Every structure is written in C-alpha cells, then in structure tokens.
A = this chain, B = another copy of it.
C-alpha cells in the first residue's frame, strides 16, 4: 500500500484534525463531537444545510462546508456512514429555528443513520427534511434506488444557495430535488482504492483493465475490459447517460469531469475536451464546466462524468457565491 498515514485506525481523526488546523478561518470541529465539521462563518436566520457520509471521498464532504454552502458535514469512517449521534449533533449545532436539510448520496447505511438523527431532532421539535442524491445512472433502473456520486456536489450547491437566499425549508427541499432530478453521472475505475486498516486494495484489477460504471466504493459496474482511448470511454459513458437522460438541441448543461483521486488532471482535461465535442455535436450548450478531484475514492484511479441540465433557476442557484476551502464562486 502506497500511503502516508500513521495508525490506520486513526486516519479519520488525524485527517479532521489536520483539516481544521489548515482551514481554521473556515471551519471547526464541534467541541463535544469530533465527527462534525461546522462553518465558523454562519449566515444568520437561514435553514441549516447538513451534508455527510463516509470518509475517503475528500474533498467531499468537509471541503464544502463554508459560507453559503453547507453549514456542517457529518463524517463517518472510510466508506462507512456516520452514526446517528453526530447526525443529530450537527442539527443541534446549526439549526436556527428554521429547520435543517440533510443531503447525502443514497446508501443504505447513511439513510438509516441520518434518519435516526432526524428522529432525535424531531423529539427536540426540530424539523429535518432529507433529499437523497441519486445521480449514478447505471446503479439501478429505478431512479430512487440509484446511488449518489459526484452529482452530490451540484445538489448540495443548489440547496445551499436556496437556503442562503433565505428560502424556507420546503423551498430548499424543492431546490435540492429539482437539481437531483436534472443531474446524471456515470464513472469508470482503473484501480481499487486502498483501505488503511486492510493494508491494501478492496478488490483486484489488473493493470490495463477498467470497469465502466463502477461505483466509488467499488460497487460493480456494467462491464470490465481493457482500457480504451479516452474518447471511446467518454463516448460509452455518454451513451449510457443520454439513454437515461435525453438532451435536445438547445439544452444547456453544467458539466463535471470528476477525478476519483489517482487520475492525473492531464487525463481529466483530455476527457473534458472530448466531452465538450460530443455535447456540441448534439447541439447541447455547455453552460459551465468543472474538471478536477471534487469527489474521490482516495487513491482510486478513475473518473466520472456528471451532467446537470440547467434552466435559469438552477443557473442562479449553482452560480450563487460561495466561499469554502474547495469551492469558491464570487
């Protein structure tokens, strides 16, 4: 395993400790709960926005806590949901009497634990609503059963902007759902990530192989084969996405080529280059683009494409200014 860590059982605590040291102008840990990262610049009088999930996907989730973005991130162990207490403690820390929204990718463990956190908050009379991100097109035929991957970023962003603009909880929920309904992703993996407590990879993948459609925790994809040229990989991913999510001439999309950790930025821009060509070829306008490691699987070599079909409302929400360590929009 090619990692630089100390005790493999301490990686999450040490990472969080390092994170709040490096970004103390943005975030802190709750004094009574070291698994909750909260903003030090709360916007007064708004709905509380809480994101979270297992760690190992940095800069997701902690990197998106900050002004006009998430108020708190709840951090689980690697690839493992946080337990209910920090989910509840996050609500207690950020609720300002307007209720809170939980936003996270659709994984069974997260649903169970965040739901318990919401029940504990309800006992205190705090309303907490949940919107699950379900952008991974190949993870299920049924949209509501799909996993959330890098589309998280956009759904979090849209909901947080609605909250920052002073909208009430119902409107924040509606913004999150609208963004999720218009977001689709699919990825490819060329290697497994390494797990510190395991001392190695989760699964074997030969050098030279790739798995199209693999999830960010190594969930099975649609096929495994030899690595193909970047353009062909984009074409295959786009075929799956567009089958599920037909785009017409004149539509506008916000694109993300998301690196999973070990894929060079060079390759990500090569992939983006063809992605824009494919979209333009269909008469689809690229509104804006992100390229980079926004939601990773530690050192997994791979990438995903995310498309958000945007209208004026979603553009305004996604362009709304934010200031966090891993996203800055003026």
Contacts and interface: CB of A to CB of B under 8 A. Distances in A.
Interface string A226-243: 010111010000000000
Identical subunits present: 2
Contacts of A328: 328, 330
Contact of A22 (B23, B188, B267, B289): B289
A2 interface: yes
Interface in A159-182: none
Given A56-B266, A269-B22, A190 B4 contact: yes
Contacts of A271: 4, 18
Nearest to A228: B4
Interface stretch (A9-17, A89-97, A99-107, A147-155): A9-17
A323 to B, nearest CB: 7
Contacts of A266: 5, 11, 15, 55-56, 58, 298
Interface stretch (A123-131, A245-253, A256-264): A256-264
A18 B301 contact: no
A19 interface: yes
Contacts of A227: 2-4
A59 interface: yes
Interface of A: 1-7, 11, 14-19, 21-23, 55-56, 58-59, 188, 190-191, 193, 207-208, 227, 229-231, 233, 261-274, 276, 286, 289-291, 293, 296, 298-299, 301, 303, 323, 328, 330
Given A2-B207, A3-B263, 15 more contacts: A5-B230, A5-B267, A14-B230, A14-B270, A18-B271, A19-B269, A22-B291, A59-B265, A262-B262, A262-B299, A262-B301, A263-B299, A265-B293, A266-B298, A330-B330
